[in-house]
Amino acid sequence: MSSVLITGSNDGLGRDAARRLVEGGHRVVGHARSAEKADALRRELPGLADVLVADLSSATQVRRLAQEADAIGTFDAVIHNAGIGFRETGRNATEDGHARTLAVNALAPYLLTALMEPAGRLVYLTSGLHEQGETHLEDLDWIERPWDGRQAYADSKLFDATLAAAMARRRPDTVATSVTPGWVATKMGGAGASDDYEAGSITQAWLAVSDDPEALRSGALYYHQAPRHAHPAVADEVFQDRLLDAFAQLTGVPLR
């Protein structure tokens, strides 16, 4: 039995991954943005060990989430599933002054990774759109650039895949991977999405707990339980370090 924390597990792929892992006999801690959503998740998945509450756009709440997670104990796996899509109509500055897409999709998983006791496995949700991400790291918060929601989303997903590869290199005792579910019919993907919805949550759960050697390729990006080509920057150690330095500066928290 593995202990697994899943962010953004009150709906969509995160909820389905949580259900699969609970049904598989694993100890799963969920996460939701509000107390109301957490209560709904507890009712839907009564087998969860706990549900933690935090708005991932708030650095204060992310820090509290890290503390509450560590109080439960060191996790065998953390699935960084939570995220928002490309339909944000503006940068929608958070209480910390960050573009909301950057804060939720990239800074929150970075902070949790930096602050929590190292888990045995780290799984980061990325997207096929990460291949359209830009590698220049100036104005990450879209303060000077005109807002482009699709580009901001693609950038954040490039950062997630890069964070996974960086953690694989920096923490050799941790299996760190990223996963793209494809274009699936979640709230983010929309009802017209054509990819295999089930395969998205299956792959998350598989990466979190499977002993299959194919699931243990630290640093790899996966799609439907198979390694997939990633943007060349993901494996670029110079880009990895530049990104980690930029995130440390934006959050005030260096990676341990």
State residue 189's pLDDT score. 46
Q: Residue 196: its pLDDT value, please?
A: 61
Catalytic site residue 153?
yes
Give the pLDDT confidence of 207-224 residue by residue, as tens digits.
999 999 999 999 999 999
Cα separations (Å) of 17 from 34, 46, 80? 20, 14, 12
Q: What is the pTM of this model?
A: 0.94
Please state, rounded to an integer, the average pLDDT across all residues of the chain. 94
Of the residues 157, 197, 222, 223, only one is catalytic, namely 157
Distance CA 127, CA 209 (A): 21
Is a pLDDT exceeding 80 seen at residue 200?
no
Q: What is the pLDDT of residues 125-142, one digit of tens each?
A: 999 999 999 999 999 999
Q: Quick check: 172 pLDDT over 50? A: yes
Nearest of 53, 9, 58 to residue 30 by alpha carbon: 9
Does 37 qualify as catalytic in the annotation? no
User: What number does CATH give the domain 3-251?
Assistant: 3.40.50.720
Task: Copy the structure tokens of residue 237.
Answer: 């150690």
Average pLDDT over residues 148-169: 98
Average pLDDT over residues 233-241: 98
The catalytic position among 153, 197, 222, 223 is: 153
pLDDT computed for residue 198 by the predictor: 73
For residue 191, pLDDT over 90 is answered with no
